[in-house]
Amino acid sequence: MIYYAYILEQSRKAKATRSAYEYVKANTKQPLLPPITLHDFPLVDGVQVMQQDKHRILNLRLHDEHLSPYMKSDMSLFHLLMMDEKSEMRIYRGENGWMMLFEGVQATPKPFGQSGFDLR
């Protein structure tokens, strides 16, 4: 399933997001992704985030903005916390901010403990 996070220019994460987008865009050898419209947001100049640059997106700490009116997302706090380098990431420039698309984010908690759950 593909999840999205749209950081608006008014967000306190906007400067860091713009910096990460510009870095990834400048250092990619792949062609830009074609323009798309997702959830009524027109997106242009998309870039596939390479494995060595995924830490830049993860270091944005999007979970700090999960209740902010300046971030639009279909992810819960759990999804934002469970993102790791295994997820596929794309970042686009939108009209009023930057859209990040995540594929392969863990949807539910993994079972743990000897029986697959905690007996406490």
Q: Which domain holds residue 32?
A: 2-103
The count of domains in the chain is 1
Helices then strands, each counted (H, E), the chain: 3, 6
Residue 113, in any domain of the structure: no
The per-residue pLDDT of the chain, averaged, comes to 90
What was the pLDDT predicted at 119?
A: 57
Residue 43, in any domain of the structure: yes
Residue 37, in any domain of the structure: yes
Tens of pLDDT, residue by residue over 82-120, are 888 999 999 999 999 999 999 988 887 777 766 666 656
> b vs e for 18-57, b when ≥16 Cβ sit within 10 Å of the residue's Cβ?
eebbeebeeeeeeeebeeeeeeebebeebbbbeeebbebb
- Find the mean pLDDT for residues 6-23: 95
Residue 116, in any domain of the structure: no
Residue 75, in any domain of the structure: yes
Residue 57, in any domain of the structure: yes
Give the C-alpha separation, 88 to 6, whole Å: 16
Residue 68, in any domain of the structure: yes
Angle at 108 between CA 103 and CA 112, to 5 degrees: 125
- Cα-based distances in Å from 3 to 98, 112, 120: 14, 25, 33
Residue 112, in any domain of the structure: no
Tens of pLDDT, residue by residue over 28-42, are 988 999 999 988 889
Within 10 Å of residue 113's Cβ, how many Cβ atoms?
Answer: 9
Give the C-alpha separation, 40 to 38, whole Å: 5
pTM of the model: 0.86
